Amino acid sequence: MVSLADLRVGLGLDRHRLAKGLPLVLAGVTIDSSERGPEAHSDGDVLVHALIDALLGACGLGDIGEHFPPSDVQWANASGEALLKGTLQLVREAYPAFQVINVDATIHLEAPKLKPYKFPVRETLAKWLDLPISCVSVKAKTGEKLPPVGTLEAIDAQVAVLLTLNASC
């Protein structure tokens, strides 16, 4: 039973500049057909970074830069999974009985087409969040050849999260 008073929605956005020859990883899944990847202090997992901001936003706990600052060497080359685990721990400390209800994500990338990767990305996110796969949506859009996504300069991600702060009531 979920109380309406405990429901929270969160929205996260992230963007990374793309460069040729770098790996592209989305929710831990390597997009092996991509010729470009993000320039980043961490692994540049734009989808997980947007998810983290959505989770933090839903709980009023700030943003990814406050908790995992790029200036902190502790987070150099940190994987999206490691940052997400740290975020879930932060949320759990504030709201021990919280539970994510569903996630809806959109990735904006001009190339390659993400269709073959969407299911593995959903599977991984569902596993990390302990959700049925039906509660995790991953959509992909191109940038219609318009900058910066459409000109292969950037990758964007948007994530909406619904959660309950108290799943036990």
- Helix 115-129 to helix 46-58 angle (10° resolution) is 40
Question: Residue 14 or residue 110: which is nearer to Mg ion going by CB?
Answer: 14
Q: Are 142 and 37 in contact (CB under 8 A)?
A: no
Min dist CB 104 to Mg ion, Å, is 19
Min dist CB 46 to Mg ion, Å, is 6
Taking alpha carbons only, the member of 95, 13, 103, 86 closest to residue 60 is 95
Question: Residue 121 or residue 165: which is nearer to Mg ion going by CB?
Answer: 121
Min dist CB 14 to Mg ion, Å, is 4
In the list 49, 108, 118, 122, the residue contacting Mg ion (rule: CB under 5 A) is 49
How many residues sit in the footprint of Mg ion (CB under 5 A)?
Answer: 2
Q: Are 108 and 157 in contact (CB under 8 A)?
A: yes
Question: Residue 49 or residue 122: which is nearer to Mg ion going by CB?
Answer: 49
Q: Between residue 126 and residue 155, which ones bind Mg ion under the rule CB under 5 A?
A: none
Using Cβ positions, the residue closest to Mg ion within the complex turns out to be: 49
Burial class (CB in 10 A: 0-12, 13-18, 19+), 115: exposed
Tokens of 16: 């990374």
Residue found by looking up tokens 């990390």 in the block: 128
Min dist CB 121 to Mg ion, Å, is 16
In the list 10, 12, 14, 114, the residue contacting Mg ion (rule: CB under 5 A) is 14
Question: Within its chain, how far is the Cα of 76 from the centroid?
Answer: 18
